[in-house]
Amino acid sequence: MQDQTPSSTVDRTVAYDFAAIEARWQRLWDDTGAFRVEDVPTDGKPKYYVLEMFPYPSGNIHMGHVRNYTLGDVVARYKRATGYNVLHPMGWDAFGLPAENAARERKVHPAEWTWRNIDAMRAELQRMGLSIDWTREFATCDPSYYGQQQKLFLSFMRMGLVDRRLSWVNWDPVDETVLANEQVVDGRGWRSGAPVEKRQLAQWFFRITKFAPELLEALPGLDRWPDRVRAMQSKWIGRSEGARVRFALADPVGEIGNVEVYTTRPDTLFGMSFLAVAPEHPLAAAATAADPAAAAFVAECRALGTSEAAIEGAEKRGYDTGFKVRHPFDGRVVPVWIANFVLMEYGTGAIFGCPCGDQRDLDFARKYGLDVVPVVLPPGEDAASFQIDTKAYDGPGEMINSGFLDGVSSSDAVKTVIQRLTEGGQGNGVTNWRMRDWGVSRQRYWGCPIPVVHCPSCGVVPVPEAELPVVLPEDVDFDLPGNPLDRHDAWRVVACPTCGGRAERETDTLDTFVDSSWYFARFCSPNAVEPVANAAAAHWMPVDQYVGGIDHAILHLLYARFFTRAMHAADIVDVDEPFAGLFTQGMVTHESYRAPDGRWLYPTEIERRPDGVVVEIATGGPVNVSAIDKMSKSKRNTIDPQEIIGRYGADTARWFVLSDNPPERDMEWTETGIAGAHRFTQRLYRLAQAIAERPDHGTSKTGVLTRAVHRTIASVTIALDQFAFNVAVARLHELLNAISDANRGLALADDAGAAEVRQAFDVFARLMAPMMPHLAAEILSQLHLTQGNAPDLTWPVADPALLVETTATIAVQVGGKLRGTIEVAVGASEETVLAAAAAEENVARLLAGKTIVKQIYVPGRIVSFAVKA
């Protein structure tokens, strides 16, 4: 090991040659397998699993990746230094639509395109100097991964977690393909431009709703998740308590004798003035059959539904079907409307309208002249005069105009109504969930094949495990519209595993969210012959720290939580929650530039003149500097990480990304910021060399510098534990300034002082090592301070004795305002401190002639005199 340490030639005239030095250390780490861990380690060390969301291999890494992987790497290296075995793997979320788009546009096979991108991006990531165990790398498009996923699918199928049913999709009639939401632009297919149709297809589903209660109940236990993410998930799952109410139609409509409604406010039933159904509701269908105007209205609603902008600003509209229902309690006859704001997917697809208690219902009633009867009296209002005008009241209160409920509180009324409905067989109390089952069918080639065959006589038959994986055929073409798997007879047509007759493979592939719902478990034993080796998962799961973007706050994290529970139920893992800790980072932003004619310009195409004016280099014309935006190709405001690393080095890029601001917020990439970070690394290197030249034979003393070192150890440790990396950077700046000052003021013969400075630098380098690993390793090696290899560095521990100060500066307030400070010995008695405070010149002046009504002393901090004249 020792002889592999790079030679450290100190030449103080040469600036820090980051390119050579970073490459050298990376090679050493790679050659020695520095970051490799066992599937089931036996050395008795505690485990720590750090994972960043794995990247989609789009072609190149971007600044968002740099930020993401730097944050995770700091945690991984820090935990390793404090004595953990750290699992820190990397892989590729390699299935997905862009590969098929590339195939159509550039005639390159999705597999070839994907693997090429992976090779390029792996090299780019490796230049960042991440402490990753690359022996665990895999891509989800590899049959050795998706074959295991097919086994999981079949397990879930046996467990009753898989379902096949009809579902609506966006259908492009020209491309003969199902469109993703992002492929629908203004109601038209993005490529064909044809108006999108809604079509019903048989689709595969995971029954995630079976887990809805536990996915919700486990959220409070995820105490190392951001509150924000837990709140978003909770709302998405959307548990509500309410009632189903059956309304009998006054006259049956065909087969339909009644309409069922879901409500969270059964107490307001007497305020009902209409019933509204979704445009897709069977009763709406019945209305359209006989009434062309109703049909026209429903068609309008469908068209509106595809455009998001239209829904946003859509006014509440409806159509009176002429059907009537009977109120379950007072027997009133109430009209049935079709309304554009009622959703078929939620509840029963029908509501009762209570205008006084719901703003949407009120708007609707006012528009169409329906009754508005107040039924809940807000506290402090008078029943005789209370009116609903343009604002509905949805709070609690006393029931009025409500028959047998009058005088009861609205919360009691909920119970009473549910009881009455149940007794009368007109309804019952129910718990409703907003979350729907997870549709996993995709009519695409570049995804994991669903391992079933369709047999005309046996129906849906799972592919026997011995025949897995069902591998994607390679000889496909993308010249024709539709899914190439549908046209590939040699692949598609098979013998039925049960009866041996002619059958056909399922040609739907799985949603790529499935691929990312268990990859973290596969990383524990990436070569296992089963999806996950139990012993490895038992050791490493759950992920202790997961790091990624807030954009995955709901779907990816919820699906992964569902999968983990399902895998637990199948005895594959022994945890319920995949991610014990979650950190969500902000976006990377940058200024964007636009020429007067509207063209977006790359940062490299503009120049900032000394007078501050920004011009286009090519034309010399003025440039409009636009707002700080998320880096995006369309606005051309991206900064290429490779260019930055080439110019400044990986350590400098990492340092800037960490120092700019708190990592959960959006950061702004600035040229001055990265240049400043670069100056810091150069300064640090120069100082290290200056210190290296001093004689190295003294015994260190314990001076003010050593005390500063130990304070820094304590504060940096706390900062890293809290993900306050920008604060850790600030504390390290302070320490470097202190070391620099001490070194400058050192007499040539002061061997003890030199030893103190040297020792301070040793600690400094170890504290910064998680953030700038190459430079830290290089400096320690050059100073012959810590022998060996950066990953073997130990984290310094603060000596509590050196954190104790002998004197304290105490602030003195008079009347709540700061009027002076005093220096006192730590441990001085309260009387002594109060006397000293009162004697302070300025304080004494302000206290003169006043009466002290109260004096407060907070030891070590502050004295406060409350006075009156």
Partner RNA sequence: GCCCGCCUGGCGGAAUGGUAGACGCGGCGGACUUAAAAUCCGCGGCUGUAAAAGGCGUGCCGGUUCGAGUCCGGCGGCGGGCACCA
Q: How far is the CB of 570 from RNA (least distance, A)?
A: 25
Q: Is 852 in the site for RNA (CB under 7 A)?
A: no
CA–CA distances in Å: residue 411 to residues 352, 407, 428: 19, 12, 16
**Which position among 727, 802, 828, 844 is part of the footprint of RNA (CB under 7 A)?**
727
Enter the tokens of residue 212: 């809805």
Among the listed residues 43, 227, 382, 389, the single contact to RNA using CB under 7 A: 227
Helix, strand or coil for residue 281? coil
Is residue 858 at the binding interface for RNA, with CB under 7 A as the rule? yes
Give the count of alpha carbons within 13 A of 247, CB side only.
Answer: 33
Residue 648 and residue 850: Cα distance in Å, rounded?
Answer: 63
Determine, following the binding rule CB under 7 A, whether residue 198 of this chain makes contact with RNA: no
422 lines the binding site for RNA (CB under 7 A): no
Given 217, 345, 477, 830, the residue binding RNA (CB under 7 A): 345
**What span, in angstroms and rounded, lies between the C-alpha atoms of 99 and 113?**
7
Q: Does 165 bind RNA (CB under 7 A)?
A: no
Q: Which is nearer to RNA, 191 or 630 (CB)?
A: 630
Q: Single out the residue of 497, 676, 698, 703 in contact with RNA (rule: CB under 7 A).
A: 676
State residue 441 phi and psi, 5-degree precision: -75, 135
**Residue in 821, 836, 838, 844 binding RNA, rule: CB under 7 A:** 821
Per rule CB under 7 A, count of chain residues that contact RNA: 83
> Closer CB to RNA, residue 4 or residue 737?
737
Sheet of strand 47-52, all strands in order from the earlier edge strand to the far edge: 85-87, 47-52, 545-549, 582-585
Cα 34 from Cα 28, distance rounded (Å): 8
Distance between CA atoms of residues 46 and 34, nearest Å:
18
Residue 360 as a binder of RNA (CB under 7 A): the answer is: yes
Q: How far apart are CA 154 and CA 464, in angstroms?
A: 9
Nearer to RNA, 129 or 355 (CB): 355
Question: Site residues for RNA, window 306-325 (CB under 7 A)?
Answer: 308, 311-312, 314, 316
Shortest spacing between CB 726 and RNA, in angstroms: 5
Measured from the CB atom, the residue of 72 and 349 that comes closer to RNA is 349
Element (H, E) at 522: helix 519-522
* CB 232, min distance to RNA, A: 6
Please report how close the Cβ of residue 262 comes to RNA at its closest, in angstroms: 5
CA distances from 29 to 6, 132, 134, 784, 854 (A): 11, 10, 11, 19, 64
660 forms part of the interface with RNA (CB under 7 A): yes
| Choice between 89 and 96, CB closer to RNA | 96
Measured distance CA(718)–CA(795) in Å, rounded: 13
- Tell me the closest approach of the beta carbon of residue 744 to RNA, in angstroms: 7
Query: Which parts of 679-698 interact with RNA (CB under 7 A)?
Result: 679-680, 682-683
Q: Are 256 and 283 spatial neighbours (Cβ–Cβ below 8 Å)?
A: yes
Among 37, 87, 342, 543, binds RNA (CB under 7 A): 342
Contacts with RNA in 436-455 (CB under 7 A)?
A: 436
493 binds RNA (CB under 7 A): no
Residue of 62, 127, 244, 265 interacting with RNA (CB under 7 A): 265
| Closest CB to RNA among residues 116, 733 | 733
CB-based contact 713:772 (threshold 8 Å): no
8 A C-beta contact, residue 152 and residue 518: yes
Q: Does 740 bind RNA (CB under 7 A)?
A: yes
Assess 667 for contact with RNA (CB under 7 A).
yes
Nearer to RNA, 26 or 659 (CB): 659
CB neighbours of residue 223 within 10 Å: 10
For helices 63-81 and 704-721, the axis angle rounded to 10 degrees is 120
Residue 232 binding RNA, by CB under 7 A: yes
Asked if residue 401 binds RNA (CB under 7 A), the reply is: no
Interface with RNA, residue 231, by CB under 7 A: yes
| Cβ proximity to RNA, 323 vs 680, nearer residue | 680
Q: Given the rule CB under 7 A, which of 185-193, 217-225, 338-346, 635-643 is the region that contacts RNA?
A: 338-346
Q: Which of 600, 726, 759, 802 binds RNA (CB under 7 A)?
A: 726
Of the candidate residues 668, 696, 792, 799, the single one contacting RNA (CB under 7 A): 668
Task: Please answer whether residues 715 and 731 qualify as being in contact, where contact means their C-beta atoms are separated by less than 8 angstroms.
Answer: yes
813 makes contact with RNA (CB under 7 A) = yes
Q: CA gyration radius for the chain?
A: 34
Amino acid letter for position 595: A
- Give all strands (DSSP E) within 683-816, no chain letters: 807-814
Which of 248, 866 has the CB closer to RNA? 866
What is the Cα–Cα distance from 67 to 55, expressed in whole angstroms?
13
By CB under 7 A, tell whether 828 contacts RNA: no
Per the DSSP assignment, residues forming a β-bridge with 159 are none
How far is residue 766's CA from residue 755's CA, in Å, rounded to a whole number?
Answer: 17
205 binds RNA (CB under 7 A): no
First vs last C-alpha separation in the chain: 76
The answer to whether residue 197 forms part of the interface with RNA (CB under 7 A) is no
Nearest residue to 362 via CA among 393, 335, 401: 393
For 449, the token pair is 């094949």
Between 782 and 811, how does the x/- string for binding to RNA read (CB under 7 A)?
Answer: ---------------------------x-x
Q: Which is nearer to RNA, 227 or 255 (CB)?
A: 227
What is the per-residue binding string for RNA in 277-296, x denoting contact by CB under 7 A?
-x------------------
Q: Does 300 bind RNA (CB under 7 A)?
A: no
Choose between 98 and 662: whose C-beta lies nearer to RNA: 662
Phi then psi dihedrals of residue 237, to 5 deg:
-65, -40
Measured CA to CA, the distance from residue 100 to residue 820 in angstroms comes to 71
Q: Interface residues for RNA in 501-560 (CB under 7 A)?
A: 550-551, 554
- Options 57, 110, 242, 791; binder of RNA; rule CB under 7 A: 242
What is the spatial distance between Cα 594 and Cα 610, in angstroms, rounded to a whole number? 20
Which of 257, 424, 621, 815 is close enough to bind RNA by CB under 7 A? Answer: 815
**Calpha distance 354→374 (Å, rounded):** 9
Cβ pair 639, 593 in contact under 8 A: no
Q: Of 70, 263, 637, 689, which lies in the binding site for RNA, with binding defined by CB under 7 A?
A: 263
AA letter at 633: K
- Which residues within the stretch 83-112 sit at the binding site for RNA (CB under 7 A)? none
Residue closer to RNA, measured from CB, 132 or 732: 732
Span of 172-180, 636-644, 793-801, 813-821 interacting with RNA by CB under 7 A: 813-821
209 binds RNA (CB under 7 A): no
Query: Using CA of residue 779, residue 785, residue 786, residue 789, what is the dihedral sign?
Result: positive
- Longest C-alpha distance within the chain, in Å? 108
Contact by Cβ (8 Å): 268, 375: yes
* Region binding RNA by CB under 7 A among candidate stretches 111-119, 138-146, 409-417, 730-738: 730-738
Residues in the chain: 869
At closest approach, how far in Å is the CB of 551 from RNA?
7
CB closer to RNA, 571 vs 841: 841
Contacts of 626 (CB under 8 A, 6+ apart): 591, 592, 593, 594, 635
Report the residue from 296, 343, 618, 749 that binds RNA according to the rule CB under 7 A.
343
Coil/strand/helix, residue 264: coil
* Closest alpha carbon to 99 in 630, 595, 524, 472: 472
> Do 544 and 721 form a contact (C-beta atoms < 8 A)?
no
Which segment (30-38, 157-165, 476-484, 665-673) binds RNA by CB under 7 A?
665-673
